[in-house]
Every structure is written in C-alpha cells, then in structure tokens.
Amino acid sequence: MKVLANDGISKSGIKALEKGGFEVITTKVAQEQVANYINKNEVAVLLVRSATKVRQDIIDNCPSLKVIGRGGVGMDNIDVDYAREKGIHVINTPASSSESVAELVFAHLFSGVRFLHDANRNMPLEGDSNFEGLKKAYANGIELKGKTLGIIGFGRIGKAVAKIGLGLGMRVIASDKFVGNAEIKVDFYNGQFINVDIVTEPMEDIFKHSDFISLHVPAQDGYVIGKEEFELMKDGVGIVNASRGGVINEVELIEALDSGKVLFAGLDVFEEEPTPAVQVLMHPKISLTPHIGAATLEAQDRIGTELAEQIISLLKSDI
C-alpha cells in the first residue's frame, strides 16, 4: 500500500511506515497534478503539511484514497467534512508541534523587545560606520520578566506558550471560549515542577491588560484583531501571530505600528501567504519568519512517527 508524503515526512516517519508494510513516496507533486499522480500510482494515503491543498476535486477523483493526513494542527487546507462523508479517514497531529511553535513565539518576543530583527538588518550595513548610532538606537530594550502575557486561544499550543512565560516569571492571562480554566504544569530540567491554575478571561480583558499578546486560534471568517481591538490595547504592546494568517488585519497593524500603539509584531503567518504584502515584509518593527512554527527536527520526528502510528492502526487489516 502506497503513501504519498507530498510535503515531506521525517526519516523516523518513513522508517515506521515501511516497517508497517507501506511504501512511502516523497516525490513533490505539483498541486494541479496531485490527483493524476494518486490515480496513476494507486496511492492509498496522502500526507500533507500546509502547502498541498486537498479539496473536493482531489477527493472526488481519487477512489484509491483511504486516508488524508495533515502533519500539524490546523486542517484548513483540507475539506475535512467532505472527505469524511466520502468515507476517507482524516487525521492530524495536534500534540506534536506545540513546543516548537511555543519556542518560536518567544524567539519573536525576545527579538522584539531587544530589536534583534532590526539590528540584524542594519548591523551588516552600518555596523562598521555607525556603531555608536546603532547602539543608541537599540538601547531602550525591555525585559519580559514581570510583564503580562495575554494568550488568545488556550489549546495545546497556547498552554505550551503559557509554560514558557511562567518559567520566565511573566504573569500569564488567557482567553478561550471553549476552555474555562487549565492547570499548567511547568517542568524543570531536574524533574521538579510547579502547577499553576489559569482561569480564562473575556478577550476584551486580554486586550486591555496585556503587555504582550500571542495568538493561537484556527483560521477565522473575520479578524480577531482589527482597529477596535488595537484601540483597547495598552500603548507599546507587542503582538505575535504564529497561528494562522488572516486573524490580524495587517493594514490596521501597520497603522498601529506606525503610530506607536504597537511596539513590535512577530509574524510567522500572513494574510496573503505565500506572497505576503511588501509593506509587512519591509516594516522595521516586524520580526518575520516564513511559517516555520513546527519546523524543528524534533517536531518533525514526532509528527512523522505519530502519523505512521495512526495510519498503521487504521489500515493494518488492509496491508
């Protein structure tokens, strides 16, 4: 039985699938050729990340498909309900990338509060001619410790972000319409830990009280943060979005950055992905990454292994 990992899969995932009796194909097939390739090769399992879209045309035209797997959390690039109506299993790996995304959030936060994103642009250009000027320009950094971190969306990734924030000595508040309260276990290297209870609050309170805001919500029909939400925030707030593009109004974000309402933003996802707006890419107050939240070796190993386990469990009787 054949598995097409069209957006790639870790070596550990390939090894586990092959051990389970599957043939794994890692050829990258262009979006418009995916259906033809699946039919020509009688592929039973299609694995994707965020690049490949699995819409009704593929689902309707590929009778050999038994499983569609998403390596990661969000499945907005798959017509999940439609596939399941057609009898196709749809799986994902919601727990595998939480730590990696959370660490990227703090990479953006640390970069923002110490202007690292801008310093890394300007030091190669002016470091030898304007060292003292740059030193002065980046002299007003701030610390994360003691500040309030507001988390919007308190699922697995939001809770992983909370753990790091608590470990840094931050006050953590959160909002989630599906989560009332959560016990966050903060683990230390030597086996010790502390438990911290966090009761979620209305989103409006997150905007009003947070020094930094991190978004961890699925794709939305509208914006989670737009002009009205920016107006509620503290002056000099920092914002990070490592969830989905389109949850922040980027036009309003640019205006808030230019006015000083927002001190900095860290973006891993974009409204117009994969062709982000030039105004966003060129803005000196935005720390940028190209949708790499789950792109660590450790996360990809966990994702590959978890996908393999689910596929083997679902199809073992057919092998």
Q: Residue 147's Cα: distance from chain center in Å?
A: 23
- The torsion angles phi and psi of 35, rounded to 5 degrees, stand at -60, -45
User: How far is 288 from 126, CA to CA, in rounded Å?
Assistant: 21
Question: How many other C-beta atoms are found inside a 10 Å radius of the C-beta of residue 204?
Answer: 12
Token representation of residue 40: 């020509």
Question: Within a 13 Å sphere around the CA of 254, how many CA atoms are in the beta-carbon half?
Answer: 11
Token pair 């196709």 in the structure block, residue: 88
Strands (E), the chain: 2-5, 23-25, 43-48, 67-70, 89-92, 148-152, 171-175, 181-187, 193-199, 212-215, 237-241, 262-267, 286-288
DSSP 90-146: EEE-TTTTHHHHHHHHHHHHHHHHTTHHHHHHHHHHHTTT-HHHHHHHT-----STT
Judged by phi (left if over 0) then psi (alpha if -120 to 50, else beta), residue 87 lies in left
Nearest to 149 by CA among 170, 180, 175, 131: 170
DSSP bridge pairs for 173: 150
172 contacts 147 by C-beta, under 8 angstroms: no
Active-site amino acid positions: 244, 272, 291
13 contacts 308 by C-beta, under 8 angstroms: yes
